[in-house]
Structure 1
């Protein structure tokens, strides 16, 4: 039987369940409610605790404001952003660990705007993703991937309005017109069918099964160049999608380590290969150990996994036993992936389809909510099965970041559905850049924030675009996102209205720049104030008393250096340390009734965005005392918000 015929004839494995609708798998529980998957009427269970005959009842229903599907970095940032706005949120992840491609199961680097030409300097992402990477620097200095899983778990678990649901896949959408009413999920560890109802859904799962089952429009494959005027697209549209990879980690054991390949290894050689496919390190694996598909890449996934398992051992056999790499003698495989890391499958259609031209022409979008700048990194069709071509074309390197519009992050035809990650509304060529995880995380923060606004404003994502776009952007900026060409303009920011701003000393920049709305230095402009040394103070004065309940300070974490786990630090744009520029210790005072009163004191700050919250006061002055950084001799600030 052919593979596709086998699939059509009703295979009910894990993949098969994903393509069946509720009508094909219906049962009823005791109350007569229709269920999917969970009919246990034939279960012959004798519970020896009381010798009772039982039938497992494993159907649960829960209600949330927002349900986020997919626990990669995009999903984490979406769920955390939503929960922090005070709405009841669920994060559904189909694995036992969070992180998706970044998890210990797959171990892809958290790339983003790692470098811009010609100087090869980063423009690093801030907001929730930076907060998460900084937490990893403090908690996981050993750069252990298994411990990184627990950093992610801690980051999510501590949010009071967020419920994490692991080992659970959303496999069906119950609809009410053009709205998703309930996500029907299967938790394999508890054999439980979960019905998760919500007003807003965000599919950050990559493959987007929930969105597909809801009827959201999507496409796969490569667009023809004429459709979006894309220089790097093929002349004729086809089905090719970038493939999946399996990574390995080698370790130097200080003594000769022989290697015998397993029976399933596929013989491999670089002889005759394109010269850009290289063995450069024995410790970080080979992203070009990849297999793509020109058909249904999701249906093909298990075949691709099997091939990759063989190829990855074939590559290591070639390194160890071909004689071409004698310096590998003391290296052995310390870790081998078994879960392929995916790059591409479904791309859902929104009100705007992001294209190559939008990126390379740096199109300005009034609804921009995120940015990117990874190169147009289109991997070749077929991967290792197309060895004559380079492993990736790297069509274009960017000299500055581009914008990602909100209209590409919600569904064109499902009213309460958004996306973040590689499944957003974009072309294949645009995906070749936006798919990296730090960029996807920025989208997640945007959609999570938008979902909370949908709840509060009682509207749809499209309604947010039509009526509340400025509000969404201002909330994102207040929470330390960065939007190119869009400064912060919070209506209730009293700091901008201060009559006088005074600094105890100035080493660079200007203290007046702290109210210009920009939270980082841009390529052609300075937007900071920095002291000459420490301790230092910044003080602002109002002629008339103002009401305040919070003060937000954006300090320096040096966004020109990457802080993701890399293990190999070859140059000045990567660090495995806590940024020395970041403020460690500071305090805040306010003048109330003519006397200075301390509002807060921080001795172990671990974030760029430092927020002091307090009961509302009337004040004519604020004083920020900057005491210590994590190593720098002076303190640099970018923005201060004083909110009523």
Structure 2
């Protein structure tokens, strides 16, 4: 007999994919009693071990210094530390452990919410049944976050929505919208001995499979595994909600038919020893409903990098279009248009029609062309953190999101920045941050150094160099030429560089280069200070770029079509590039400049914060360098196709601070505040139960993960 249990909380988050997890964690850390309801046995949605799509975002689409942090960054850095092989099984556990570790979260797995009860224009409660327990739960809250992906809560509550780019109405519900299809992936392994495969009778035969493959870039390989199989697509011409079972079965027919073709067609001899290690049973869904929110992000917003007063998070993945016909289509399997990092506003997260409901994930308010970029999981995760911050402010002010005033929106922005959300163009202006009010000094300041190594990068394809620009002048790069030639470059400027979408063009230059080793001078004339310069270098088979022995923060080079970045040997005179004053300039990561303090090579470098009068504080936050130009995936198969343009990390970033101590000065003596010995987070937070009073605070870096210098973006004190 079904038992009914009613549970009250301040906030209920429905959906335990990465957007829902980040929303719940963010709300719980803000002190909000939160319920997280998920209809599957594991958290993570498409990134979980049930579906196994790896998480990607702005950095994976060519944006430099753009890896997503915040609550997602906390999860990713823990994954990098505890799960360096990026095993998807352990990613499940990273998420579960983080949720169970928050005292303000109550988790309900295997619980499918199927009813939404409204009254007085608001949601009063949602109701769902937990599989196998025979319990019907009633969740009553002041506010709700719909992170279901399909926007089920919003749709049931009467919030208008789109299917494709059409507003859903009874009149057009029969029209076939063209959507992004669903996928089922498989993982393979080499058994080192012959393995037979007998296809199930329902799988498509080899003759039919042969009509589908090797067109539109759909090239079969016996080595493809994991997310290499993203193009196993179907369902874009179906209803991806009501017909999801049929879509899943059709995908199984297709996928097992493809594997049968690989194993038994005789065209892939290396497949003899390979076998399926895992195959998905749940389709990874790309698109269904999108809610018609207060503002819907457009393609023009993305391409023009529009800045919003209520900008709260960001995206940067390609506008990534797939044909609705999936494997049955004659079109290219995907068309990816690179974009620069762009901002999404809070207004994409709510509709005034239901004032106590927020949206997170792929169901937020975007037009379909913008959705092609904003749907990517890293961006969805950031939307969850932003939705929780919006809900927290509405709770504090006891108002609806549409009623928030300018100052309250700014408070949300500052709260997000404090929790390590990057919002393009926004800087720290938190009135509670004592670090902003201190004078800052350091044991030393690193000056950019050219230390040529014996390694080079041949310019056999289009390449680039990134340099931060703060004043008029010229940068020199060290080259090696096999004969007299010319270095042909195009100079671009951007707030954040993108190797595929370089920004605004400044100039075109041709620099003579003599045979042998040469310093080539590139003029930055015409560039605006406070920008990054991206130097595009045209292919030249007799030229090589000399690489540096040490990393200069904010300066890197690479090839246009590769994410494997290197350290160029450059000369650029800027005495303030790594100055300690960067710690309090308001930026906690690169944007229009490096914004980092870097010490010289020395034993135990330190920074000192001093106030004119004693201050009371209980918390110190350090914003560190995890190498924001390298992706940190949720999971990764044993191999991946080069088309992904993915470079895997090999251990913890050497420049990340590992161990540090904090002291405070009071009544003529230095006192111990805290010591951290095994930090692996980008944002290191140290908090004491009781506040202390101090005239000075000294932070000493005891150890990094490999670099001999200390590097810190920002210090906050509360």
**TM-score, normalising length from structure 1?**
0.85
Between the aligned partners of 2:217 and 2:224, the Cα distance in structure 1 is 17
Partner of 1:348: 291
Matched, 1:252 2:190: yes
Between the aligned partners of 1:545 and 1:288, the Cα distance in structure 2 is 61
Matched, 1:566 2:640: no
State the SS of the aligned residue for 1:627: strand
Between the aligned partners of 1:72 and 1:116, the Cα distance in structure 2 is 22
Counterpart contact for 1:563–1:576, Cα < 8 Å:
no
Counterpart contact for 2:58–2:67, Cα < 8 Å:
yes
Between the aligned partners of 1:135 and 1:270, the Cα distance in structure 2 is 45
Between the aligned partners of 2:225 and 2:673, the Cα distance in structure 1 is 49
Where does structure 2 lack aligned partners over 5 or more consecutive residues?
168-174, 449-577
Partner of 2:341: 401
Equivalent residues in 2 for 1:20-419, closer than 5 Å: 56=1, 58-117=3-62, 121=64, 123-222=66-165, 239-267=177-205, 268-269=209-210, 273-279=214-220, 281-284=223-226, 285-386=228-329, 388-394=330-336, 396-398=337-339, 400-419=340-359
State the SS of the aligned residue for 1:277: coil
State the SS of the aligned residue for 1:412: coil
Report the alpha carbon displacement of residue 293 of structure 1 after superposing the two structures with TM. Answer: 3.3
Partner of 1:545: 614
Deviating more after overlay: 157-166 vs 131-140: 131-140
Report the alpha carbon displacement of residue 488 of structure 1 after superposing the two structures with TM. Answer: 1.3
1:229-271 residue CA offsets vs partner (Å, 9 max, x unmatched): xxxxxxxx96111111000001111122222211111131266
State the SS of the aligned residue for 1:207: coil
Counterpart contact for 1:592–1:617, Cα < 8 Å:
no
Aligned equivalent of 1:444, options 366, 384, 397: 384
Report the alpha carbon displacement of residue 216 of structure 1 after superposing the two structures with TM. Answer: 1.2
Counterpart contact for 2:5–2:135, Cα < 8 Å:
yes
Deviating more after overlay: 447-456 vs 69-78: 447-456
Matched, 1:599 2:673: yes
Report the alpha carbon displacement of residue 467 of structure 1 after superposing the two structures with TM. Answer: 5.0
State the SS of the aligned residue for 1:194: strand
State the SS of the aligned residue for 1:260: coil
**Quick check: which one's strand share is greater?**
2
Partner of 1:487: 427
1:31-80 residue CA offsets vs partner (Å, 9 max, x unmatched): xxxxxxxxxxxxxxxxxxxxxxxxx4500000000000000000000000
Partner of 2:550: none
Report the alpha carbon displacement of residue 515 of structure 1 after superposing the two structures with TM. Answer: 0.5
Report the alpha carbon displacement of residue 322 of structure 1 after superposing the two structures with TM. Answer: 2.1
Between the aligned partners of 1:366 and 1:528, the Cα distance in structure 2 is 26
1:388-434 residue CA offsets vs partner (Å, 9 max, x unmatched): 1111122x112x20111110011231111111111001111111111
Counterpart contact for 1:279–1:286, Cα < 8 Å:
no
Between the aligned partners of 1:572 and 1:631, the Cα distance in structure 2 is 23
Between the aligned partners of 1:269 and 1:382, the Cα distance in structure 2 is 17
Counterpart contact for 1:217–1:412, Cα < 8 Å:
no
1:185-236 residue CA offsets vs partner (Å, 9 max, x unmatched): 1111212111100011000110122221111111101359xxxxxxxxxxxx
Report the alpha carbon displacement of residue 353 of structure 1 after superposing the two structures with TM. Answer: 0.7
**Matched residue pairs, number?**
570
Counterpart contact for 1:505–1:536, Cα < 8 Å:
no
Between the aligned partners of 2:59 and 2:234, the Cα distance in structure 1 is 25
Between the aligned partners of 1:269 and 1:245, the Cα distance in structure 2 is 19
Between the aligned partners of 1:278 and 1:576, the Cα distance in structure 2 is 29
What is the root-mean-square deviation in Å for CA atoms of aligned residues? 1.9
Between the aligned partners of 1:384 and 1:465, the Cα distance in structure 2 is 49
Partner of 2:598: 530
Report the alpha carbon displacement of residue 171 of structure 1 after superposing the two structures with TM. Answer: 1.0
1:123-142 residue CA offsets vs partner (Å, 9 max, x unmatched): 21011111101111222234
State the SS of the aligned residue for 1:124: coil
Report the alpha carbon displacement of residue 583 of structure 1 after superposing the two structures with TM. Answer: 1.4
State the SS of the aligned residue for 2:343: strand
Deviating more after overlay: 139-148 vs 608-617: 139-148
Report the alpha carbon displacement of residue 605 of structure 1 after superposing the two structures with TM. Answer: 1.1
Report the alpha carbon displacement of residue 465 of structure 1 after superposing the two structures with TM. Answer: 5.9
Report the alpha carbon displacement of residue 469 of structure 1 after superposing the two structures with TM. Answer: 0.7
Between the aligned partners of 1:295 and 1:467, the Cα distance in structure 2 is 45
Between the aligned partners of 2:279 and 2:185, the Cα distance in structure 1 is 7
Report the alpha carbon displacement of residue 326 of structure 1 after superposing the two structures with TM. Answer: 2.2
1:332-357 residue CA offsets vs partner (Å, 9 max, x unmatched): 10001001100010101111011111
Report the alpha carbon displacement of residue 172 of structure 1 after superposing the two structures with TM. Answer: 1.1
Where does structure 1 lack aligned partners over 5 or more consecutive residues?
1-55, 225-236
Between the aligned partners of 1:560 and 1:60, the Cα distance in structure 2 is 48
Q: Structure 2 vs 1, CA of residues 577 and 488 (structure 1 numbering), >3 Å: closer, same or farther?
A: same
Counterpart contact for 2:234–2:251, Cα < 8 Å:
yes
Partner of 1:31: none
Between the aligned partners of 2:613 and 2:11, the Cα distance in structure 1 is 42
Report the alpha carbon displacement of residue 277 of structure 1 after superposing the two structures with TM. Answer: 1.4
Counterpart contact for 2:147–2:360, Cα < 8 Å:
yes
Between the aligned partners of 2:443 and 2:134, the Cα distance in structure 1 is 62
1:510-560 residue CA offsets vs partner (Å, 9 max, x unmatched): 1001001111122x4121011122421111212222222221110110111
Report the alpha carbon displacement of residue 596 of structure 1 after superposing the two structures with TM. Answer: 0.8
Counterpart contact for 1:115–1:121, Cα < 8 Å:
no
Partner of 2:709: 634
Partner of 1:14: none
Between the aligned partners of 1:572 and 1:216, the Cα distance in structure 2 is 39
Between the aligned partners of 1:447 and 1:116, the Cα distance in structure 2 is 25
Counterpart contact for 1:186–1:194, Cα < 8 Å:
yes
Counterpart contact for 2:114–2:127, Cα < 8 Å:
yes
**TM-score, normalising length from structure 2?**
0.77
Deviating more after overlay: 144-153 vs 553-562: 144-153
